[in-house]
Amino acid sequence: MKLRSCSVAKVFCLGTLLLAPAAAFAQAAAKLIPMPREYKAGTVAALAQGVTITSDDGPEDRFAAQDLAAWFDELGVHAEHGHSSVKIELLRADSKRGEKVLASAGVKLDTAMHDEGYAIVPEDHGLAVVADTAEGVFYGAQTVKQMVTGTGASATLAEATIRDWPAMKYRGVSDDLSRGPFPTLDFQKKQIRTLAAYKMNVYSPYFENTLQYASDPVPGLPGGSMSKDDVKALVTYAAQYHVMVIPEQEAFGHLHHVLKYEEYAPLAETPMGHVLAPHQAGSLDLIGQMFGEIAQEFPSPFLHIGADETADLGKGQTRDEVDKRGLGAVYVDFLLQIHQKLTPLNRRLMFWGDIGMHDPAEVKRLPKDMIAIGWEYSPNPKGYADWLKPYTDAGMETWVAPGVNDWNRVYPDNDYATRNIQGFVHDGQLAHSTGMLNTVWNDDGEGLFNGDWYGILFGAAAAWQPTEATDAAAFGSAYGEVFHGDATGKLDQAQREIIAIYQSLNAAELGWQTDRLYWVDPWSAEGQAMGAKLNPLVHEMRLHAERAITLIAEARAAGPLREPDAVDALDTGARRLDFIGQKFETAELIAKMYREAYASQNDAEKKKHIGGTLYTLSGANGLCEDVRDGYNYGRLRYSDVWLKENRPYWLQNVLTRYDLASQLWVTRSAAIHAAHVQWSAQHTLPAPESLGIPAENR
């Protein structure tokens, strides 16, 4: 085979470790995500003279070489006229050069390494990546990227010996495109590149009504849905990176945004509900139309039909049948009908396993070529066997679906997420699950994918590495340097500061609803109940958030960071958490000060200070204005971060919340100002309750 070369400038660095399985590494020394199976430290090569990359002469390997070259260019390592002191070869194991490199190093590619595995060996003052397949070559090149420390003339490359291969065949992300944020095509391409860089090979967009159909044009809103051209561009782009795009179109539940249209009203289990009525003939016709088009546009061997959370089933058109036969029987019947309807498409169907798992006897009726995806998003000390066993007992293939815990939160709870991901993927591997689909959901319509990378990359590591090998603490110390190029460790510490906030909030049963904490009126009945739990935590919470903000600024000041949009999302998350504390703290102080002023009206000495107190509450730099300003700045910042990844679609729904929240405090400021005017004229004050100020909690 011919070798194709491309010269670029690059920087590499890797820590030193003894030859050992990855689980035995001193991981602080080798910062790689995922960690390789086997690693032997070598020398460190300076890259001041640049790097030359060569590859076997096939289009896929040339693409891997070009991708690697682009990475080195980004790091500022440049070779002059193709000459450099360090060489990186991308080789197939069956080439003469590949065979020679492996034999010289005494390294073998085992059968388990065939599909996606690779070896990296020091060779001629550089490295050789050797693999059986294009996927293996590509993944080896991605590891090489992480074996670099520094940039420009100071860059170095760790010349280590590595053997590596995945524990799970399918490693992916399910991306909610139906309940708020809808990414631009450019951002979806960035998602593909990033997933591939961390050896993930599945991207699964989740559709309710956000995929356009020629046969069903009403629900897919222009500007807020994927067109046929979008799909073609994404699928073609992803294939270069060995990423399979598996579409999920809900085909049973979660279809409110279809069923709310009049033409589909007869198909709804309940009026304008969420679930298709199984025995309406039009239900299967609709499914057939949708998936017929999907199969033409997505070449994946899998089609995901959803079928989760069918809470309306048995409450409307199928009430009598469910009462007679049971929920499980009616549910499985419809899955069987869907399977039969879609059989001509010659694809394997995937479905969420949360409904069928409760009726193992009915599960055994399902076709064995269907794939059940068990999902559960909480850490579970008792393990996750219950989510898989009904299906493995029935002889079905399973995947596992943990979550990044970004939904209903102003920033993901990464402690909760990593414990969930680690536990579920571990148990999935023990149960011989073939895939992991890490989930991103936007239940609150406000999720920022750029804030989710920590959990996504941890999922990539968990699915690639075997069972016990995923170390959350080691990952937390490597993430900032690997993903952002932050050698200071400050971004990792900023993540830990936010984790500390969530740990305290979770202890108070508030961690799962930080988004609600952000929007709730502290003086409402709900806000007072939440405040009773939150207020004792506010001081430490704000210190952690502000420490995170400071650490982020210090990391930025120390040098250019990679993935700056994700850093912006981290900073925005920290500021939103800080504002939660500020809002509750300020609202409590306003209420306290006004109640004290009201009680002082007839005190000759104390009433002298009432005017000043009221000005403090509502005036230049007043406390009401602080809350107003917090929401207004938050609106500006959030909008900016949103538009770096998403289309404008849906954004106005979130901005309206900012506007209403800001206006509430403008109105309250005006009411307190009016009270100030009344005091100046009449020396009387309206009662606190008339201003919406709650009674003091005792």
pTM: 0.94
Question: Length of the chain, please?
Answer: 698
Average pLDDT over residues 272-286: 96
From the candidates 60, 99, 309, 321, which is the catalytic residue? 309
Strands 38-40 and 20-21, sheet pairing: antiparallel
Residue 350's nearest CA partner among 334, 329, 365, 335 is 335
Q: pLDDT per residue over 111-127, tens digit each?
A: 999 999 999 999 988 99
Local structure of 36: helix, strand or coil: coil
Tell me which residue has tokens 């591997």.
429
Q: Is 585 one of the catalytic residues? A: no
Q: Rounded to 5 degrees, what are φ and ψ at 39?
A: -150, 135
* Residue 244 pLDDT greater than 60, yes or no: yes
Tell me the percentage of the chain whose pLDDT exceeds 70. Answer: 95
- Residue 647 in contact with residue 183, Cβ under 8 Å? yes
pLDDT of residue 9: 37
Q: What separation, in Å, do the N-terminal and C-terminal C-alpha atoms of the chain show?
A: 81
Q: Cα separation of 593 and 588, whole Å?
A: 9
Give ∠ CA 92-96-101 in degrees, rounded to 5: 75
- Residue 623 in contact with residue 590, Cβ under 8 Å? yes
- Order across the sheet with 148-149: list the strands: 44-46, 156-158, 148-149
Q: pLDDT per residue over 397-447, tens digit each?
A: 999 999 999 999 999 999 999 999 999 999 999 999 999 999 999 999 999
Strand partners, 357: none
Q: Cα separation of 502 and 480, whole Å?
A: 19
Burial 90-107 (b: 16+ CB within 10 A, else e): bbbbebebbeebbeebeb
Cβ neighbours of residue 571 closer than 8 Å, sequence gap 6 or more: 549, 552
10 Å Cβ neighbour count for 535?
16
Domains of the chain: 3-164 (3.30.379.10), 170-470 (3.20.20.80), 495-691 (1.20.120)
Cβ neighbours of residue 688 closer than 8 Å, sequence gap 6 or more: 591, 594, 595, 598, 694, 695
Tell me which residue has tokens 């999902």.
375
DSSP string, 369-413: TSEEEEE--S--TT-SGGGTHHHHTTT-EEEEE-B---TTSSS--
Of the ranges 288-292, 599-603, 633-637, which one carries the lowest mean pLDDT score? 599-603
pLDDT of residue 57: 85
Tell me which residue has tokens 């206006």.
663
Residue 388's nearest CA partner among 374, 369, 402 is 374
Q: Cα separation of 434 and 399, whole Å?
A: 6
Residue 247's nearest CA partner among 190, 319, 188, 322 is 188
Q: pLDDT per residue over 295-338, tens digit each?
A: 999 999 999 999 999 999 999 999 999 999 999 999 999 999 99
Strand partners, 435: 170, 399
Q: Cα separation of 198 and 214, whole Å?
A: 36
Q: pLDDT per residue over 29-86, tens digit each?
A: 689 999 999 999 999 999 999 999 999 889 999 999 999 999 999 999 986 545 678 9
Q: Using the Cα atoms of residue 230, residue 234, residue 235 and residue 236 in order, give the sign of their dihedral.
A: positive
| HSE, side-chain direction, 13 A CA sphere, residue 132 | 13
> How high is the mean pLDDT of the chain?
94
Tokens in use for 584? 């509750």
Q: Rounded to 5 degrees, what are φ and ψ at 432?
A: 65, 30
Tokens in use for 3? 């070798």
pLDDT of residue 85: 81
10 Å Cβ neighbour count for 59?
9
pLDDT of residue 7: 42
DSSP string, 38-79: EEE---EEE-TT-EEEEEESSHHHHHHHHHHHHHHHHHTB--
